[in-house]
Structure formats: C-alpha cells, structure tokens
C-alpha cells in the first residue's frame, strides 16, 4: 500500500529515477499475505482507499481482503507504476556511505540512491508462540498470515489459537464448514457489533456516475474516524464511554449461557486492546459445534492440544492466529547509517523515530507507518499519505540543492519521544491490559494525540528539528 503510494506520488512530483523493491512476486503487502477465510478490513472501504483513487465498486461497507488486494493492483496498473516494481527482489542491506545509500538485494543486486523510503509495513512478521510440542503436531499447522489453502477444512476438527481481530473473523467464516471448532482463548476480547451491508448495484452505479458522492463518503467517514480516535486518546472521553456501553450490551444481549458469557467477559476496559469488530462472533461461538476453551494450553501433542485441566482437544488442523512481531519494522533488513551505526543497535531497547518517520544519524531515510505512529486509530492509508507528503517536503530540499543530507537532531527526537510516551500513558491503551500496542515498558507504541494534531504536524516539517548538511 505505502510503496505503491510512494511510486505514484514521486512520479506526480516529477521524480523519474526511482525503483520499488518488492521481495515477493506480487504487490499487496498485508493483503497479499493474509488470505485467511473471512478476511476483511474493519475500516470502511470508502475510507480505506487512497484519497486520490476512490473506488465506486466496493461490494460492502467493509469489503473482503481479496477485493482490497485487487484494488491495489488495479490502482498500481492504472497509475502506471507496476512496471517500476522490481519483484522477487528482497533488500538485505542498505548502508549510507559516500553521501548516498548503497543498497544490496539478497540475490546479489546493487543500487546507489540519494534517498530511501521504507514502506515495509507494521503487521508483517508472524508471531509464532513458544508453545511446547508445536513441532510434534500430527495434523496441519500454520499461522493465519501463511494460510495453507491446500488443507481441507470442511467436516474436520479445527483449532484456533488467539482471540484477536484475525481469530474472530476466522471463527465466523469457518464455524459452519467444520465438524468441530475449538477456540483457544488466553484473554477475552470486547467485541464491538458491526454490520456489514452490501452496496446495491444502484448505489454502485450512483458512485460511478457522481464522483462527488465518493468524495463526500471519504470525507464523512474520515470525520467519524477522527472523532473516534480522538476518544481513544482520552480514556475518559464520552466516545470511550459509548464504546464501552455498546460492547457490554453486545455481550449481555448476544450470549445466552451465563457461564459462557462470563468466560467471554474481559477484565479490562473496552478498546484497551485493539477493538475487535464483528457482526456475528458471539453467534458463531454459540453454535453447537463450537467450543470456547479457556483452560490454558499446556502443550501441543500429535493428536491435538492438551489444556492445563489435562484434557486433550483432538484436532486435524491447528491455526495460530497469534499476531505479529510488531517491533521489527524495516528489519531484518540491515540498515547502516552514518559512521557505521546500525539501526538494529540504535533500536536495541525499542524502536523509535522522530515523528515516526526519520531517525537521527540516518540521513535521507524516511519510514512510512514506522515506529510509534498512529496505528490503532486511523486508516493506515491516510496515515501513509500524510507521512509521505511530509517526507517529500524533505526530499524536495535535497532535489533543490538546499542540502545533500537531512536527518532529525538527536535532541528533537528525544524531546518528541519523551512527550509522546508521557501522553501515551494517559490513553485507553495504557488502562491495564496486555496488547500488541505496548512496548517492553508497557507504554503504548502509538500516536497519543488527536488526528488534527497529526495532520498539523505532517503539514510542514519544522526545519529547526533537523540537521541539514
């Protein structure tokens, strides 16, 4: 998503000498890699689109993953950037040397560039839990982001580990197909009810005929999301209270068996973890062939999962919907800045960056959806567009000859990070739960302020925060 965006916007700005490196043989990032049953984006499709490429054809309010993948491929083709992508070309190392970035691909290719944009994603590297015996399982075993479509599911016994957004979508998609579905829950989740109506042919025709309808859908949904995210960063806001009420009512009204209801009731506040949206998760988990297993996994055995109560849950397929290693970002690529300093060493405690975009000592290096950015509260496409606009203003300084190297000062970066982590401690994400938003200190790794503040910050770089050479 962010790489295609960069290519389109660089071209528009008259940059012609650029290359997009892609390790896979197809574009699409998260939407290429995640193909699990039930996958959809819970940001409305008319907002989860490039601002400059609205799409009248979205089938649903929250369209499925395959449609999103097709959208990115179509936009890249239409904007003429697909030929600029070097597929099957994984970048292994980049080093700043002689005033430029020296780039090496894993297959021995080399390039020398003035500026680098890292559009490598956030939820990218699967988190494989260290559960004893995983390697001894006799059935099919895979992570949700590595779905094995050759494995038969119909009529079989399927186990799913995890209760995040991914697991919830898989449960609803599979429950009617499988003989038995066992959901291994370590922590209960609040579920926000969310209907997903299809767009009728008449509605799509209207979107096609009247582009202003698409523009106003984007603007209206954007305003709603910005208000919602404003609520998240203030743990006691009226928006938070409304979310809590809706989640609690959903649990009370949808789950009939009081014992099951208590097992599904989280012990922390709604939206502390990333809010899970679903029209039918509670309905699915109450089906006769579904079981919510809360006893804790002791180990995996050849025949299934043994829980701490001694019971063996016999399975043919085990899916790890256990999330991602969210502190990786551009890694495992080796990034070597000035004086041979590696990004891995600079980030040895935890990743950080000035405004989530650039790092002191790494000139002309810009990340999209980098560390501590707005991950939990906005459309990541909108975030990437704003960040790219900011980075391009800095790249413009290089093009105009105003400087040859630009990187943020260590002082400005430390000041920003201190202010950010202080504010992050007051958000709902720090209200007492374990989630992928938290760093090693338990501080949320996210933009802790409103969308308006983010947009203002992205509108123009404050050059006093940068060192220009």
Positions touching ligand NAP (CB under 6 A) are: 40-42, 123, 129, 131, 144, 161-167, 169, 186-187, 274, 297, 321-323, 434, 436
- C-alpha 200/C-alpha 172 separation (Å) is 23
120 half-sphere exposure, CB direction, 13 A CA radius: 24
The nearer residue to ligand NAP, 63 or 89, going by C-beta atoms, is 63
Bridge-based pairing state of the strands 466-468 and 406-408: antiparallel
Dihedral, CA of residue 41, residue 432, residue 253 and residue 36, to nearest 10: 30
Question: Following DSSP, what letter does each residue of 24-56 receive, concatenated?
Answer: SSS--THHHH---TT-B-SS-TTTSS-TTS--T
Q: Which is nearer to ligand NAP, 300 or 357 (CB)?
A: 300
Cis peptide before 332 (omega within 30 of 0): yes
Instruction: Tell me the C-alpha distance between 296 and 283, whole Å.
Output: 23
CB of 34 to ligand NAP, least distance (A): 7
Nearer to ligand NAP, 119 or 161 (CB): 161
**Contacts of residue 259, Cβ cutoff 8 Å, sequence gap at least 6:** none
E strands, 52-203, are 85-86, 91-97, 100-105, 110-113, 116-118, 140-143, 157-161, 180-184, 191-193
Sign of CA dihedral 366, 367, 373, 377: positive
Going by C-alpha positions, the residue among 214, 210, 211 that lies closest to residue 222 is: 214
Q: How far is the CB of 150 from ligand NAP (least distance, A)?
A: 22
Please report, in angstroms and rounded to a whole number, the separation of the first and last CA atoms in the chain.
Answer: 32
User: At closest approach, how far in Å is the CB of 434 from ligand NAP?
Assistant: 5
240 near 231, Cβ under 8 Å? yes
User: Minimum distance between the CB of residue 420 and ligand NAP, rounded to whole angstroms?
Assistant: 20
Measured CA to CA in angstroms, residue 237 lies from 244, 272, 281, 434 at distances of 11, 13, 27, 21
Distance of closest approach, residue 101 Cβ to ligand NAP, in angstroms? 30
Radius of gyration of the chain (CA): 23
Return the number of the residue (35 or 187) whose C-beta is nearest ligand NAP: 187
The residue among 253, 276, 258 whose CA lies nearest residue 185 is 276
Minimal CB distance to ligand NAP: which residue?
A: 164
In residues, how long is the chain? 469
* CB atoms closer than 10 angstroms to residue 402: 11
Q: Minimal distance in Å, beta carbon 168 to ligand NAP?
A: 7
Question: Smallest distance, Å, CB 144 to ligand NAP?
Answer: 6
Provide the minimum distance between the beta carbon of 129 and ligand NAP in the complex, in angstroms, as a whole number.
3
DSSP bridge partners of 126: 324
Q: How far is the CB of 173 from ligand NAP (least distance, A)?
A: 12
Please give the full DSSP string across 374-413, using - where no structure is assigned: S-SSS-HHHHHHHHHHHHHHHHHHHHTTS-S-EEE-HHHH
- CB-nearer residue toward ligand NAP: 323 or 351: 323
Smaller CB separation from ligand NAP, 160 or 335 = 160
User: 36 or 390, CB closer to ligand NAP?
Assistant: 36
Sign for the CA dihedral angle at 423, 383, 445, 69 comes to: positive
CA angle 62, 77, 396 (to 5 degrees): 95
Q: Which is nearer to ligand NAP, 19 or 431 (CB)?
A: 431
Pick between residue 163 and residue 229 the one whose CB is nearest to ligand NAP.
Answer: 163
Element of type H or E holding 317: strand 317-320
Least gap, CB of 99 to ligand NAP (angstroms): 38
Nearer to ligand NAP, 169 or 280 (CB): 169
Name the minimum Å distance from CB 41 to ligand NAP.
4
Least Å distance, CB 176 to ligand NAP, is 19
Please identify, using beta-carbon distances, which residue of 167 and 214 lies nearer to ligand NAP: 167
Smaller CB separation from ligand NAP, 182 or 407:
182
């Amino acid at each position: 998503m962010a790489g295609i965006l960069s290519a389109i916007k660089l071209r528009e700005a008259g940059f012609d000498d650029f290359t997009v490196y892609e390790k896979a043989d197809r574009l699409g990032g998260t939407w290429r890699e995640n193909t699990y049953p039930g996958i959809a984006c819970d940001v409305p499709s008319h907002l989860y689109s490039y601002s400059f490429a609205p799409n009248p054809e979205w089938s649903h309010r929250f369209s499925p993953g395959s449609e999103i993948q097709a959208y990115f491929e179509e936009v890249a083709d239409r904007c003429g950037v697909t030929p600029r992508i070097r597929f099957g070309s994984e970048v292994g190392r980049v080093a700043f040397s002689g005033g430029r970035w020296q780039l090496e691909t894993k297959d021995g290719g080399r390039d020398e560039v003035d500026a680098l944009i890292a559009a490598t994603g956030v939820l990218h590297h699967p988190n494989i839990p260290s559960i004893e015996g995983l390697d001894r399982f006799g059935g099919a075993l895979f992570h949700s982001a590595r779905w094995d479509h050759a494995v038969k599911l119909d009529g079989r016994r399927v186990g799913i580990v995890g209760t995040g957004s991914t697991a919830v979508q898989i449960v609803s998609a599979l429950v009617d197909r499988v003989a038995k579905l066992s959901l291994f829950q370590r922590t209960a989740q609040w579920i926000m009810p969310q209907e997903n109506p299809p767009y009728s042919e008449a509605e799509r025709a209207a979107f096609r005929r009247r582009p202003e309808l698409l523009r106003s859908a984007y603007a209206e949904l954007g305003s709603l999301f910005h208000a919602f995210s404003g609520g998240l960063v203030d743990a006691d806001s009226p928006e938070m209270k409304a979310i809590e009420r809706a989640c609690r009512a959903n649990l009370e009204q949808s789950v009939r068996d009081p014992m099951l209801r208590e097992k599904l009731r989280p012990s922390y506040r709604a939206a502390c973890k990333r809010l899970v949206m679903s029209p039918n998760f509670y309905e699915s988990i109450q089906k006769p062939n579904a079981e919510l297993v809360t006893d804790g996994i002791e180990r995996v055995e050849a025949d299934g999962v043994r829980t701490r109560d001694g019971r063996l849950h016999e399975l043919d397929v085990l899916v790890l919907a256990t999330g991602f290693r969210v502190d990786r970002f551009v890694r495992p690529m080796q990034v070597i800045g000035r004086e041979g300093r590696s990004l891995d060493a600079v980030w040895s405690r935890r990743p950080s960056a000035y405004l989530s975009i650039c790092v002191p000592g790494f000139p002309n290096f810009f990340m999209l959806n980098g560390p501590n950015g707005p991950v939990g509260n906005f459309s990541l496409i909108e975030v990437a567009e704003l960040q790219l606009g900011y980075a391009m203003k800095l790249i413009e300084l290089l093009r105009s000859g105003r400087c040859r190297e630009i990187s943020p000062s260590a002082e400005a970066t430390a000041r920003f990070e201190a202010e950010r982590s202080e504010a992050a401690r007051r958000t709902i994400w720090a209200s007492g739960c374990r989630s992928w938003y938290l760093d090693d200190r338990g501080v949320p790794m996210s933009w802790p302020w409103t969308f308006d503040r983010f947009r203002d910050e992205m509108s123009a770089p404050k050059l006093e925060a940068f060192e220009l050479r």
